[in-house]
Structure formats: C-alpha cells, structure tokens
C-alpha cells in the first residue's frame, strides 16, 4: 500500500462517483493525445486507459511509477520526472491535459502550461477549491487577483464541480474543485513578460490605487485606463491595455 507523501503534496482520490464524473467531464475520445499529470495510484488513469489509444502520464514518485508499471497496460506511457520541467513538445500535439494537481505546485504548473498553450486543446484539473475560485473570479471580487488575470487573459476558465475532502485518502483539510480550461482562440497580450510585470505590480499592494502601484511604470498621461482605481476593479482586457500602453513607452 502506498503511503501518501507530504513532500509531493499527495492526496489520493478514492471516490468512484467523483472519478466517473471527472472522466465524463474530460469525455476522452479514442485518438485524443491525453497527458495526465500526477497519476498517483491510477484512480483516473485506469478508467482513462479504457477509452484512449495511448495515455501519457508524468509522475515524480518512483514508488508510484512501480505501481503504475504493475498495471501492465500496453497503452500506458510513463514519463518519470517533474511536470514543471517536462517538455510537452516530445508528445504528439495537440495535447489534452488532465490531472489532480498537487496543492503545493499547482500555480507553477499552470504557468508552465500557459507558456505551452499553443500545444494544448484543453485542460481538466482538480485543484484546491480556493485556487479554482481565485482563477475564475470576476473583477470587483475580493479574491480576484494576479492568478485570475493571468489565466483569464489566455484561457476560458470554468469551475465544473466541487469535490469534498472525504473523496480522498488521506482527506485533505480543504475542499477541491474541478476546473476546465480552454485556450482562447487568440489573446491580445503582445508581450508575456511585460504583461506579467504589469499585472504583478498592479496587485502588489491591493489597498493602493493603480497610480501608486504602477508609478514606476506608467503615468495617467500615458494610458486611458483610470489609475485612481484599485487593481481589482479592472477587467482582464484593461490589464492588457495597460501592458500595451507601457510597451509603447519603451
């Protein structure tokens, strides 16, 4: 029996009804290029293997790799390593990505995939509910912030359903949720590094106005966006405008 390891942020999904619902959301087709991040003990891996020609999985924990290898499934391709360093271009494209993302590295994984979104059809993940709520938050909300803007500038994001702690072993202290992410047909972000810099600076001190937060980057004369507001009042499109206005000055 594999014991969940704290250092990999492991909580294993054991509730069959939840697993069926997730697989139904993914709705895999036989020829889909599916990549599962962190397959764990294979709760989602096994039902997915029944529906696709090939399933690629990436796992860092060697004990779990041994467990997955013991399934003896011809259509399972196991990649040992860190999802944050995984090169998606070695897989047949475009890819559909699924997984129960470890809580401790969910944001870095999302950013890694964001940078590779040209290779991705869609992504269905289980994340901490609080993280999903932050991603899908609308402007004006207390939880709308850097993560919301960064993801929504490039993806359609939807919270599909909530998963209670008792669906896992060990039960985490928090609720989880399933999120569906689909890359937007096009984004108006011209320069990723500049966009990231402006969004980060805007939310660095939430209680301050944008004029204060962005004083090193933009003055009111340089943009049509009203800088007397706080960052949380701006739509995603407004941040794209700010980044593009900043770029014009440099």
36 labelled as ligand-binding? no
Determine how β-strand 34-37 pairs with β-strand 95-100: parallel
pLDDT for res 169: 81
pLDDT band at 157 (very low <50, low <70, confident <90, very high): very high
List pLDDT tens digits, range 9-68: 456 788 889 999 999 999 999 999 999 999 988 999 999 999 999 999 999 999 999 999
The candidate with the shortest Cα–Cα distance to 34, out of 106, 108, 81, 91, is 91
Determine how β-strand 120-128 pairs with β-strand 176-183: antiparallel
The candidate with the shortest Cα–Cα distance to 202, out of 177, 230, 161, 170, is 230
pLDDT for res 7: 47
Distance CA 34, CA 198 (A): 34
| Shared-domain flag, residues 142 and 223 | no
Last residue of a domain, one of 159, 183, 207: 183
State the average pLDDT for the chain.
Answer: 93
| Shared-domain flag, residues 65 and 93 | yes
Q: For residue 104, give the CATH number of its domain.
A: 3.40.50.150
List pLDDT tens digits, range 1-11: 555 444 444 56
Q: Which residues of 117-137 are buried (b: 16+ CB within 10 A; e: fewer)?
A: bebbebbbbbbbbebbbbbbb
Q: Are 76 and 42 in contact (CB under 8 A)?
A: no
Mean pLDDT of 204-217: 96
| Shared-domain flag, residues 10 and 88 | yes
pTM of this prediction?
0.91
pLDDT for res 209: 97
| Shared-domain flag, residues 52 and 69 | yes
List pLDDT tens digits, range 85-101: 999 999 999 999 999 88
List pLDDT tens digits, range 231-244: 999 999 999 999 99
Sign for the pseudo-dihedral over CA of 70, 76, 79, 83: negative
| Shared-domain flag, residues 51 and 159 | yes
Reduced to 3 states (helix: H, G, I; strand: E, B; else coil), residue 38 is: coil
Tokens encoding 109 = 């994984």
Last residue of a domain, one of 128, 148, 183: 183
40 labelled as ligand-binding? no
100 labelled as ligand-binding? yes
Domain tally, the chain: 2
| Shared-domain flag, residues 49 and 77 | yes
82 labelled as ligand-binding? yes
114 labelled as ligand-binding? no
31 labelled as ligand-binding? no
Last residue of a domain, one of 154, 183, 212: 183
Domain that holds residue 233: 192-248
């Amino acid at each position: 029996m594999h014991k969940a390891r704290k250092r990999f942020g492991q909580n294993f999904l054991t509730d069959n009804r939840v697993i069926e619902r997730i697989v139904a959301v993914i709705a895999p087709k036989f020829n889909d290029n599916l990549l599962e991040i962190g397959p764990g003990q294979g709760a989602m891996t096994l039902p997915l293997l029944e529906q696709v020609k090939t399933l690629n999985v990436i796992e860092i924990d060697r004990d779990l790799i041994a467990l997955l290898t013991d399934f003896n499934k011809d259509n399972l391709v196991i990649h040992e390593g860190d999802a944050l360093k995984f090169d998606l271009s070695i897989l047949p494209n475009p890819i559909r990505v699924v997984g129960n993302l470890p809580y401790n590295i969910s944001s870095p994984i999302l950013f890694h995939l964001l940078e590779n979104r040209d290779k991705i059809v869609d992504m269905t993940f289980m994340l901490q509910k609080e993280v999903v709520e932050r991603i899908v938050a609308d402007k004006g909300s207390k939880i709308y912030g850097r993560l919301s803007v960064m993801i929504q500038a490039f993806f359609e994001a939807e919270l599909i359903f909530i998963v209670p702690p008792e669906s896992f072993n060990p039960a985490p202290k928090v609720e989880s949720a399933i999120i569906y992410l689909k890359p937007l047909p096009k984004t108006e972000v011209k320069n990723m590094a500049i966009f990231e810099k402006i969004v980060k600076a805007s939310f660095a001190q939430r209680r301050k106005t944008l004029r204060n937060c962005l004083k090193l980057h933009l003055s009111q004369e340089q943009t049509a966006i009203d800088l007397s507001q706080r960052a949380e009042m701006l739509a995603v499109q407004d941040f794209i405008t700010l980044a593009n206005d900043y770029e014009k000055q440099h």
